[in-house]
Amino acid sequence: MNESPRVLIDPDDEIDGLVVLTLNRPEKKNALDRQMVDALHQALEPLESDSSVRCLIFRGAGDSFVAGADIAQLRERRAADAHEGVNQKIFRRIAEFPAPTIAAIQGWALGGGCELAIACDLRICSEDARFGQPEVALGIIPAAGGTHRLARLIGLGHARELIFTGRIIDAEEALRLGLVNRVAAPQQWFHEAQKLARKICKNAPGAVRLAKSAVNQAADLDEEGRDQLECDSQAICFESAEKLERMTAFLEKKRKK
């Protein structure tokens, strides 16, 4: 019997430019195994070069986002596997995706699931969502971006506490710490993610992509480098057709009032 695909790819019928990637292993609460990682790479490859894609939403099938990595597979991994950086590479690819990405989270987002969520640009979660980096309880560390992305997102003190204790937090605390952008009712979490994506997709796609690139690169540059990056990105915008078209439309609309 053929297994269901690990990742489902669906262009949103209502929002032009939005693509939804569903992690599809609901019987295991979408635990991240090697097959799912490979499927994510395959899904992202054509989307990265598709300029019509303005936003990606990642969601989980069933009642969870991603409950963690597949422990049965993790138990068998050795030093060479750690240096291969299986999960690290896919989450870096998600973080570097040219267009904005949104994690739409319900249920569990633990371990690799939390790391996947924080690799995305934005996070919308349901009131029933739960987050954590409990790796140390299993004798490993959050080594797929958790030790540095979590700290940048919520600050060193909070990140250290969550990583060192493995404590699981609820949606309310995740919002307070800045781990998520918004919390929605259990029936509305995906709708809220779509609303956010709709606002992104209405904007000039070239400018949005350049803004994301500048934000992502800024952390690795000094002040002079950040200023130069902004100038270089703005120079591209100033020469673009979309800037001329959108500013002309704005001025004409204002003139008619």
* Residues involved in catalysis: 115, 135
The amino acid occupying position 194 is: Q
Q: How far apart are CA 129 and CA 106, in angstroms?
A: 5
What torsion do the CA atoms of 243, 249, 251, 253 make, to the nearest 10 degrees?
-160
β-pair partners for 56: 19, 101
In this structure, are residues 241 and 205 in contact, taking their beta carbons and an 8 Å threshold?
Answer: no
Question: Which two tokens mark 212?
Answer: 């994301």
Q: How far apart are CA 244 and CA 132, in angstroms?
A: 45
